[in-house]
Structure 1
Amino acid sequence: MEQNIEFIPLDRSFFQQPTLQLAKSLLGCLLVKETEEGRTAGFIVETEAYRGALDRAAHSFNNRRTKRTEIMFHEAGHVYTYVMHTHCLVNVVAGQKDVPEVVLIRAVEPYEGIDLMIERRGGTTLKNLTSGPGKLTKALGITMEDYGKRFDEPPLYMTKGFSPEDISTGPRIGIDNSGEAREYPWRFWVTGNSFVSR
Structure 2
Amino acid sequence: MTALTPVPRAFYDRDTVEVAHDLLGAFLVHNLAGEVRVGKIVEVEAYLGESDLAAHSSKGLTPRTRILFGPPGFAYVYLIYGIYCCMNVVTEREGNACAVLLRALEPVQNLRDRTQGPGLLCRAMGIDLRHNGHDLVSADFFIAPRDGNEPRQVVARPRVGVDYSGLWASKPLSFYLDGNPYISRK
Q: Could you tell me the TM-score, scaled by structure 2's length?
A: 0.94
- Assess if the C-alpha contact under 8 Å between 1:6 and 1:159 holds in 2: no
CA distance in 1, matches of 2:141, 2:15: 22
- Assess if the C-alpha contact under 8 Å between 1:27 and 1:164 holds in 2: no
CA distance in 1, matches of 2:132, 2:66: 10
CA distance in 2, matches of 1:25, 1:55: 21
Structure 2 unmatched runs, 5+ = none
Calculate percent identity across the aligned residue pairs. 35
1:169 Cα offset (Å): 0.3
Q: Give matches, 1:173-192, under 5 Å.
A: 173-192=160-179
- Tell me which of 131, 143, 161 is aligned to 2:128: 143
- Assess if the C-alpha contact under 8 Å between 1:164 and 1:190 holds in 2: no
CA distance in 2, matches of 1:20, 1:10: 17
CA distance in 2, matches of 1:155, 1:33: 6
In structure 1, the residue matched to 2:182 is 195
Secondary structure of 1:189's match?
strand
**2:86 paired with 1:82:** no
Q: Where has structure 1 moved over 3 Å in runs of 4 or more?
A: none
Cα root mean square deviation, aligned: 1.2
In structure 2, the residue matched to 1:58 is 55
1:187 Cα offset (Å): 0.4
1:164 Cα offset (Å): 4.6
Secondary structure of 1:152's match?
coil
- Tell me which of 19, 22, 30 is aligned to 1:25: 22
- Assess if the C-alpha contact under 8 Å between 1:105 and 1:133 holds in 2: yes
Q: 1:75 to 1:176 in 2, by over 3 A?
A: same
In structure 2, the residue matched to 1:71 is 67
1:145 Cα offset (Å): 0.4
Deviations 1:83-107 (A, max 9, x none): 0011000000011110101000000
Secondary structure of 1:169's match?
strand
Secondary structure of 2:123's match?
helix
Paired residues, number: 182
Structure 1 unmatched runs, 5+ = 119-128
Q: 1:158 to 1:135 in 2, by over 3 A?
A: same
CA distance in 2, matches of 1:26, 1:80: 16
1:48 Cα offset (Å): 0.2
CA distance in 1, matches of 2:165, 2:97: 17
Q: Give matches, 1:123-134, under 5 Å.
A: 129-134=114-119
Letter in 1 for 2:52: D
1:193 Cα offset (Å): 0.4
- Assess if the C-alpha contact under 8 Å between 1:52 and 1:100 holds in 2: yes
In structure 1, the residue matched to 2:2 is 5
